[in-house]
Amino acid sequence: MALLITDLCINCDVCEPECPNGAISGGAEYYLIDPRLCTECVGHHDRPRCIEVCPVECIIPDPAHAETREELHEKFRRPVPVRTGSG
């Protein structure tokens, strides 16, 4: 299951640099996690780093993106390319 940052986020910027998949980015009001990139740190760490460093505990499992540990590991092995630019 991908993770989700709730509206309790205080925009402290500690989670974004901790994400090994580049899944966390700044949003209009608070940080966002791209579920296509989030592997809950499977393949990188024992526990999700963003959850470990969040000072307000605003990162939760995203019920809209349920995935098994095996699916997360497969996503880790075949990351989704991040598109840039307009083309």
**The predicted structure's pLDDT at residue 60:** 97
- Say if 83 falls within a structural domain: no
Q: Look up the CATH number of the domain holding residue 39.
A: 3.30.70.20
pLDDT (tens digit per residue) in 7-40: 999 999 999 999 999 999 999 999 999 999 999 9
Full-model pTM: 0.82
CA 26 to chain centre: 12
pLDDT (tens digit per residue) in 56-78: 999 999 999 988 888 888 888 88
- Say if 43 falls within a structural domain: yes
- Say if 85 falls within a structural domain: no
Number of domains in the chain: 1
- Say if 11 falls within a structural domain: yes
Domain that holds residue 60: 3-77
Of 86, 6, 5, which is closest to residue 38 (Cα–Cα)? Answer: 5
- Say if 32 falls within a structural domain: yes
